[in-house]
Structure 1
Amino acid sequence: MKTILTAVMTLTFVAGCTPMEKIGLDWPAKRPDTPVPVVRENPIMPLPEVGDSPPVHDEDAGQVPTGKGLLGVTVASLGDPSRGGIWIETPLVSTPAKGRVTYVKSGRTVKVDLIPISGPVTAGSRLSLAAMRFLDAPLTGLPEVQVYRD
């Protein structure tokens, strides 16, 4: 048993000391002239629906948008999964309201309860588990969503 263990440890040590190209691997890549592919998201955002007001971009004042229509775009994380309902906690509203959230990547929209949270309007938001599922948004990701007040 000691012999087998010693042989395995020796081979592991030797393999760790062997240059990668000698065992057929090219890591790290030795071709600095090979360009690294850059993946970019589509910069084109869909236009708001007819009659929607444009988003407020007064970030310096930290004012919460008022009125109906598009309130803004926010990055959303998964909210408390034990809390039921279809809602979004967001600094884009200062009072509870009814609205909807659109996840552009999936093209889906869901009606939600808008729940205010403190923070600048540029801060992130939290979506309910049910809303994330309806939007077909990644539960472990940070989807960018459009928030509308009805």
Structure 2
Amino acid sequence: MKHVALILLPAFALSACTDVPLLGTPPWQRAPAGVARPADADTMPAPEAVEVTPLEDTASAAQPATSGILGTTVASLGDPSRDGFWIETPLVSAPGRGRVRYPANGRVVKVDLIPIAGPVTAGSRLSLGAMRLLDAPVKGLPEVEVYLD
């Protein structure tokens, strides 16, 4: 009986605690070494509101553009150990800045555009941070619109 009491007593005492970290801070909420975390770092930042231009013909995605929509692509999860907001896509031929829009909910996030080899109809790889801000399914293959800024 004493053994049961010794096991249940700490569990009962800790059941009232709300700030007991069981597994520590998730990797996506950890700051890089040498960077201070703000007090409200446990909350996810709201995505920036960006005005989006109407969709254009996706056949024009192969032509270079100075700004506007590059096309629509199916995005899988990129390397989750790589920080930042980026998309690796065959829709661009040179690195640059842009934004990605998830049409299912209308959310937009600014990203680094990273070119990869392949036809413009091939899929893309989206960073974990960008997928989370877009509220896109991490395990799925969401279709996103890619814009050049």
TM superposition score normalised by structure 1: 0.61
Determine the C-alpha separation between the residues in 2 that align with 1:56 and 1:105. 18
What are the equivalent positions in structure 2 for 1:6-85 lying under 5 Å apart?
Answer: 49=53, 54-57=56-59, 63=62, 65-85=64-84
| 1:66 Cα deviation after fit | 2.6
Once the two structures are superposed, residues 86-131 of structure 1 have per-residue CA deviations (whole angstroms, 9 ceiling, x without a partner) of 0000000000010000001121000000000000000000000000
Structure 1 unaligned segments of length 5 or more: list them: 1-47
* Match of residue 127 from structure 2: 128
What are the equivalent positions in structure 2 for 1:71-110 lying under 5 Å apart?
Answer: 71-110=70-109
What is the aligned-residue identity percentage? 65
CA RMSD in angstroms comes to: 1.9
Structure 2 unaligned segments of length 5 or more: list them: 1-51
Regions of 4+ moved over 4 Å: none
Once the two structures are superposed, residues 27-66 of structure 1 have per-residue CA deviations (whole angstroms, 9 ceiling, x without a partner) of xxxxxxxxxxxxxxxxxxxxx616x8x344168xxx3543
Aligned residues: 98
Letter in 2 for 1:126: R
Determine the C-alpha separation between the residues in 2 that align with 1:87 and 1:71. 15
| 1:140 Cα deviation after fit | 0.4
Determine the C-alpha separation between the residues in 2 that align with 1:76 and 1:118. 15
CA contact (8 A) 1:99 1:114 kept: yes
> Which one has the largest radius of gyration?
1
TM superposition score normalised by structure 2: 0.61
